[in-house]
Each structure stands twice: as C-alpha cells, then as structure tokens.
Structure 1
Amino acid sequence: MHNRWVALTVIVVAQLCALSVWFSASAVLPSLQEEWGLSVDQGWVVTVSVQLGFACGAIVSALLGFADRYNPKRIFMVASLAAGVFNGLLIFSSTLELALVLRFLTGFVLAGVYPIAIKLVSLWFQSFRSISIGILIAGLTLGSALPYLLLGFQTNLLWQTTILISSVLAIIAGLALFVLLPTKEAQASSSKFSFRNIHYVVRNRKVMYANYGYWFHMWELYAMWTWLPFFLMASFTNSDSSYSYLIAFVAIGVFGGVGSFLGGVWAERMGKVRFTIIAMTTSGICAILIGLTFQQHPFLTAFVAIIWGASIIADSGQFSALVSDYASPEYVGTALTMQLGVGFLLTAVSIYLVSVFVPVIGWGAVFLIISIGPLLGVFAMLRLEKMIQST
C-alpha cells in the first residue's frame, strides 16, 4: 500500500467520486427549471453559485492555513462528507434561494477536496510531479462529467436520483481515502496566503503572465463544461437527449482525462510554457469551429467536441506549476491562491455570458465569446516564453 502509484490511485478515485457533486445540479438543470419554474437567468445562477463558493472556500482555507495546520487526509474526508450532505439536501429544497445557498456551500467545501488532493499527490511525488498531477486532473474531469454519464444511460432518471447518487459517491470517497491512504509525512510547506504579499505577486511579471494564462484558460474551461451538453442537445435535433449527454461525457470526461494525462507527459518533454501554447491554440480553434457544425452532421460535431474536450484541460496543471517555478517561496502560497480565486471568479462571468447571449446570437455563435480566453491566453504565454528565453 505504501507504493506511491497505489496511493495515487486511491487519491484519484476518491477525488473522482467526491467531485461528482460539482456538476450534479447543472446536469439536471432542465428538470429543475421545469419543476421549480425557473427562468433561464435563474437557472445559470444555480451553476455559478458553486463556482463562487469554491473561490471563496479556497481563499478562506488559505487565509486560515488549513492545509498546513491539519492532516490533509482529515480535511479531504470532512470536506467530502460535507459536500455530499449539502448536495443531497438539494433534494429537499423547495425554493431557489435555499438551492443557491446549498450550491454555494457545496462549492465552498469542495475547496477542501481538489486543492487538498493536489497537496496529497505532491507529498507522494517529488519526481514525476507533472505526470501525477496530470493523472489527478484526469480524475477531476471524469468526476465532473459523471452526472452526464448517469443521464446518458437514463434520460428518464429523476433529478433527485442523480443528486443522491453523486452525494453517496462523495461520502464514500471521503471515508475511503481516510481509511485506505497511509499518512505521508509532510515536507516543508509552502507559504500561506497573505494580502500583504499581493504586491510582490503583481510585480513578478513571469508569475503574472502565468496567472493571465490560467485566468484566460478558466474563462473557457468551465463555460464549455457547463454548456456543451446543452449545445449538443440543441444541435442534435433528431436524436434522443441521452446521445447528447453521452457525447458530453466522452468529450469532457473520457477524452478530457486522456488529455490531462498526456498533457502531463508532453509538458515534461517539451516544456510547460510551450505545451500550454499548443493546448490553448487547439482549444481556441475548436471553440470557434464547433459553432460552424451546429445542426450539421452529428459525427462532425461530436469529433470537434472530443478534440475540444481533450485540449481544453490538457494544460490545466501547468499554470500552477509555472507559478511555483517563478514565485519566491515567501509568497508562493499567495500567488497560487490568487491564481485559483480569480480564475474561478472569472468562470462565473463566462458561464453567465453564454446564458445571456444564447437567445441573442444563437448556439452557432455563442462559443465565440469563450474562444477569446484561449486566444488571449496564448498571447500571455508567448510573452512569458519570450521573457524566459531572454533571461
């Protein structure tokens, strides 16, 4: 059990199950809108509240130094249990206001799952870290897309059942990791978040360009993960909705997972910055092209969606690695928290904008809004590459 690859398997599977609550409500959003009488604007808030909760949870966790003060295994367990409970309580919610509170709290406690999983992997892997983080992010993509798989096989599944299954998985994940994963002695921890250190982060141009790349990457990522299934349903007018959910799961979960793993391998070989440029260029092109396939041949749409799903997440782990490379140890904790917090706040904006512009410009053009993210991200990473080469 003390083999680090076995430990990685435990961490990844536990994270996969725990993060299934992230998009559980988004996956059943049409059912929630019908049952609760929600407008389109009210519907998107259900999704965005999780993003805002996660951003707030990450900042609070960093300010209080939870990851450095407490056993990360215990934090993961408590956070997973809480996420399962808050997500499950959505079944008993009868008002939008209560649902938003529960989704915010779900996102808030998930800040004790994904970042802590990264810390656990870092403790076990001093070498092959890019590859191990890539595998962990593959688990993130699979877990996030899991509700789409459930709906793909059972389109007549009650929304309460989807919520309940994801909650049970999260609870089992927390308990299983705590029992199965041996405690690994922590190495010297990185610095904690401090508002006083923000000016050091802002003045470090290499760190800021890495941050810009991540923020533009996040602008695209979660909007795509949220809206791709609904784009596919609108595009595949002659197909059952289960087909759209399954394609979304394959694109986001399966090929996203493959892209994450291969991204870690390729980043080790060609360099982090160069790989992020290639990945964002590919995903940006897909964001532009997929609208042109709208209500055309389903195979072509599915093909572009799969390439998009693989490329959009492939570089995700490299931005935090770049910040760790170029930030001083005295403020690396602040830099990483700033990167994460701002990134997830931006996801709320891009998710909202898609919902606003779909009725105005249609599905065929709406993803052009999020294609701006990777295109600007490429520019930021080219500037970073030039700075690195000149020093």
Structure 2
Amino acid sequence: MAERARRVPRWGGPVAVVSLAQLFGTSLWFSANAAADGLKQSWGAGPADIGALTSAVQAGFIMGTLALSLLGLADRFRASTIFVVSALTGACFNAAFAWIAHDIATAALLRFLVGLSLAGIYPIGMKLIVSWEPARTGQALALLVAMLTLGTALPHFLRLGGQALQWQWIITGASVLAVAGAWLIHRLGTGPHLPPARTTRASVLSAFTIPRFRASALGYFGHMWELYAFWTLVPLLVAATGLAAHFPRFGVSGLSFSIIAAGAIGCLAGGMLSRRIGGAAVALGALTISGGCALAFVLGWQTLPKGWLIGVLMLWGASVVADSPQFSALSAQACPKDMVGGALAIQNALGFGITMISISAATALFDSLGPGAVWLLIPGPVAGLIGYRLALRPA
C-alpha cells in the first residue's frame, strides 16, 4: 500500500487523478457532436446523421460493457490496465474517424469502436474510485461524473476556442487528451481496497435480485432515457430556439458547453449534499428537477423570454446528470465487493441501451417537431422515480 501511495502524483490524491483521467478519456464521447457544423459542410450530415453517430458510440459502449460484465473481465483484470488500454485504443479510433472516414457509414463504424473503448474508461473509472475511496463512494463518484460531464462538454469548448481550425483538429484534440488520461492511470495504478480478482463465473445478473441494487438501477435507467438524448439535442435546441443569435458572443458552441458543463456543478453540489441528506434523496431530487425542467422547456420554448429560457436549460443541464453518481454509488454499495465492476458494467450496458432508443427517437422527431421533440424525454424521469419506489416495496 505504501509503495502504491508513492506512485500518486504529488499534485493530487487518487480521486483527483482518476477524475482528471476520466475527464480526458471521456472527451472522446461527444467529439462528433462538437464537429456537427464541419460534418454538415463536408458530408451534408443532418440531425439524424449526428444522432446515428452518437448512437454508434452508445452501441459500442453497450457491447463493451456487456463483454466486461458477462464474461467477468471487469473483475478478473486490473482496473488500471483495462483503463489504460481502452483510453489508448479509443484515442486511435477517434483520430481515425477524423482523418480516415469520408462518409457516415465509415464514421459510424469508427465511432462504434470508440464506444467499445469507452466501456473500459467510464465504468472502470468508477471501479478505480471504489478501489481508492470505498468510504466516500457517493462524493467521490460525484467528482468522477462531474469530470465525465466536463469531458462531454469539452469538445464544444475546443470548438469554441478553435473556430478557425478544421473540425478534424478538434477531434484530434480529444484523442490527445485521452492519451494523457491513459498516462495518468498508468502512473496511479489500482487502489488497495478491492478483493483479489474473481476466479468464479457467478452470474453478474444476480445483482438484480438485491432489492436495493434493483431500485437504484431502475432509477438510473429512467435517468438515462433523458440524459444522453438531452446532451445530443443541446446544440440543436440552442440553434433552433434562437438562443445563439440572442447571445452571439457565445454562439452555439459556447452555449452548448455552458449548458452541458453545468452538470459538473450539479454533480459536485449533489456529492456534498449527499453527506447531509443521503445519496438516495439527492438522486430522486435531481431526477424530479430535471423532469420539471424538461416540462418547463417544452411548454415555454416558444413564449419564454430568452433569458428565462437559457436559465431553464442551465438548470436542466445541472440537474440532468447530478443523480447519476448517486445512483451508481447506491448500486456499488448494494452489491458484493467482488461483483462491483461487473454489476456497474451491466447497469451501464442496459442504461446505455436505453439511450440508443431515446437518442434515435429524439433526433428523428426533431426533424419534424423541432424543439417540441423534448416531450419524448419526460417519461424517463417519471419512470425512474416510480421504478425506484416500487423496487423497495416489501414483497
């Protein structure tokens, strides 16, 4: 343990290092969305095409998390090794998307491979957090998911700061960051607070027989119906509601970054609040607020003043992801320690399967309904709240 501690960089503890690596690694996730304008000019890509590229990443992520969980890989190999390999391969596939792909079909294949790589970054990053800070899982995961949120928003920031650059260089910037994340985890290693690697093949699906795990998973699934579809729609909503024209200094990229990045503040605030009122209260409260924001937006996007409308989107951006680390922490605490990696991976796999449906449906509806397509996101928070309560009812 002492030897491991000497490997931690002096400028931060393990949670800070893992969270920064997560920020860099997950910048790969929405890099295509930040390049939407360039893809439109180069390939004539429309909203449905951007949705297809995002769904390809989700499909790859699902396949990767299923393999990690059902084959027991997440709990049979060192978490740091999986993270490093995944970040490096994801960086390569992302760069290939920027410089080799010349049409939507090829791009979708490469984005699928990026998603496959992300399966070894996001859930494994959560396992790394548990391996270093098991006693502060909720607050530590809040920092981790805050970095995931910033990583999601980061390509929009890169786009904002590099308006004169070709879209390919914006994508490449995300790959460079992912390589930096791999280096950080290589330096850090895996923490000492997990049992030895599993040698048995007990089904990870048995975690769903645990009422507390099942409740947090159902809440997480409702949250996932809304989250990634919202993140995908943000630049489209900003453009279609005239917000970019009303705030020209920010434009689509600046406002999109601000709205998505607000989720990092929501995660950190939720993490601190969870120490006082508990993770379940924070998760359910955030889910309620985000559902309310979705309803307020869809009812008022045509009539609300622009200042109020951006306020709704900022609050929505802050609350839509604040429940994620708390649901994940509740799941990690509910299942046996030797099943943490696989249980979180299978929860992620099913959750991201749900996102594929909501992203595809929302982007397809956007072509015909415009911002009114947001109606489709509201059932997610409602179902998550109901599912959580029902799962904890006595049999």
Same fold (TM over 0.5): yes
C-alpha RMSD over aligned residues: 2.6
Q: In the TM superposition, what is the alpha-carbon distance from 1:262 to its structure 2 partner?
A: 1.6
Mapping 1:56-75, distance limit 5 Å:
56-75=63-82
Indicate if the aligned counterparts of 1:63 and 1:192 stay in contact, CA closer than 8 A. Answer: no
Q: 1:98-119 CA distances to partner (integer Å, 9 max, x unpaired)?
A: 2111100001011111112111
What is the one-letter code of the residue matched to 2:276? R
Q: 1:351-378 CA distances to partner (integer Å, 9 max, x unpaired)?
A: 1111111133221x21111011012212
Counterpart CA distance in 1 for 2:346 and 2:77 is 22
Residue 26 of structure 2 is aligned to residue 19 of structure 1: yes
Cα gap change, 1:225 to 1:271, in 2 (>3 Å): same
Counterpart CA distance in 2 for 1:22 and 1:71 is 23
Which residue pairs with 2:136 in the alignment? Answer: 128
Indicate if the aligned counterparts of 1:358 and 1:366 stay in contact, CA closer than 8 A. Answer: yes
Cα gap change, 1:378 to 1:68, in 2 (>3 Å): closer
Counterpart CA distance in 2 for 1:76 and 1:196 is 23
Q: 1:292-335 CA distances to partner (integer Å, 9 max, x unpaired)?
A: 13475322122111111111111102223333344466866654
Mapping 1:217-366, distance limit 5 Å:
217-236=223-242, 238-239=245-246, 240=248, 242-253=250-261, 255-291=262-298, 292-294=300-302, 296-327=304-335, 335-363=343-371, 365-366=372-373
What is the one-letter code of the residue matched to 2:242? F
Mapping 1:75-90, distance limit 5 Å:
75-90=82-97
Counterpart CA distance in 1 for 2:141 and 2:258 is 21
What is the one-letter code of the residue matched to 1:230? L
Q: 2:389 aligns with which of 382, 385, 388?
A: 382
Q: 1:140-170 CA distances to partner (integer Å, 9 max, x unpaired)?
A: 1011110111222344432111111111111
Q: 1:162-185 CA distances to partner (integer Å, 9 max, x unpaired)?
A: 111111111122123313x25533
Counterpart CA distance in 2 for 1:161 and 1:193 is 45
Indicate if the aligned counterparts of 1:22 and 1:107 stay in contact, CA closer than 8 A. Answer: yes
Q: In the TM superposition, what is the alpha-carbon distance from 1:286 to its structure 2 partner?
A: 0.6
Residue 106 of structure 2 is aligned to residue 111 of structure 1: no
Indicate if the aligned counterparts of 1:194 and 1:334 stay in contact, CA closer than 8 A. Answer: no
Which residue pairs with 2:53 in the alignment? Answer: 46
Cα gap change, 1:39 to 1:226, in 2 (>3 Å): closer
Q: In the TM superposition, what is the alpha-carbon distance from 1:197 to its structure 2 partner?
A: 5.5
Q: In the TM superposition, what is the alpha-carbon distance from 1:208 to its structure 2 partner?
A: 2.8
Indicate if the aligned counterparts of 2:138 and 2:279 stay in contact, CA closer than 8 A. Answer: no
Cα gap change, 1:116 to 1:207, in 2 (>3 Å): closer
SS in 1 for 2:80: helix
Which residue pairs with 2:62 in the alignment? Answer: 55
What is the one-letter code of the residue matched to 1:134? A
Counterpart CA distance in 1 for 2:75 and 2:118 is 17
Which residue pairs with 1:97 in the alignment? Answer: 105
Which residue pairs with 2:39 in the alignment? Answer: 32
Cα gap change, 1:282 to 1:172, in 2 (>3 Å): same
Name stretches of at least 5 consecutive residues in structure 1 with no aligned partner. none
Q: 1:169 aligns with which of 156, 162, 177?
A: 177
Indicate if the aligned counterparts of 1:273 and 1:384 stay in contact, CA closer than 8 A. Answer: no
Q: In the TM superposition, what is the alpha-carbon distance from 1:195 to its structure 2 partner?
A: 8.4
What is the one-letter code of the residue matched to 1:207? F
Q: 1:207-247 CA distances to partner (integer Å, 9 max, x unpaired)?
A: 33322211110000001111112101111263449423212
Counterpart CA distance in 2 for 1:192 and 1:284 is 42
Q: In the TM superposition, what is the alpha-carbon distance from 1:275 to its structure 2 partner?
A: 2.1
SS in 2 for 1:127: helix
Counterpart CA distance in 2 for 1:235 and 1:192 is 54
Indicate if the aligned counterparts of 2:19 and 2:143 stay in contact, CA closer than 8 A. Answer: yes
SS in 1 for 2:134: coil
Q: 1:268-289 CA distances to partner (integer Å, 9 max, x unpaired)?
A: 3212322222111100011111
What is the one-letter code of the residue matched to 1:62? S
Counterpart CA distance in 2 for 1:152 and 1:280 is 30
What is the one-letter code of the residue matched to 2:24? C
SS in 2 for 1:38: coil
SS in 1 for 2:195: coil
TM-score by length of 2: 0.88
Counterpart CA distance in 2 for 1:94 and 1:330 is 44
Indicate if the aligned counterparts of 1:18 and 1:170 stay in contact, CA closer than 8 A. Answer: yes
Indicate if the aligned counterparts of 2:70 and 2:203 stay in contact, CA closer than 8 A. Answer: no
| 142-151 vs 233-242, greater mean Cα deviation | 233-242
Name stretches of at least 5 consecutive residues in structure 2 with no aligned partner. none
Counterpart CA distance in 2 for 1:337 and 1:221 is 18
- The size of the alignment, in residue pairs, is 384
Cα gap change, 1:350 to 1:136, in 2 (>3 Å): same
What is the one-letter code of the residue matched to 1:301? L
Cα gap change, 1:141 to 1:158, in 2 (>3 Å): same
Residue 236 of structure 2 is aligned to residue 212 of structure 1: no
| 220-229 vs 313-322, greater mean Cα deviation | 313-322
Cα gap change, 1:98 to 1:92, in 2 (>3 Å): same
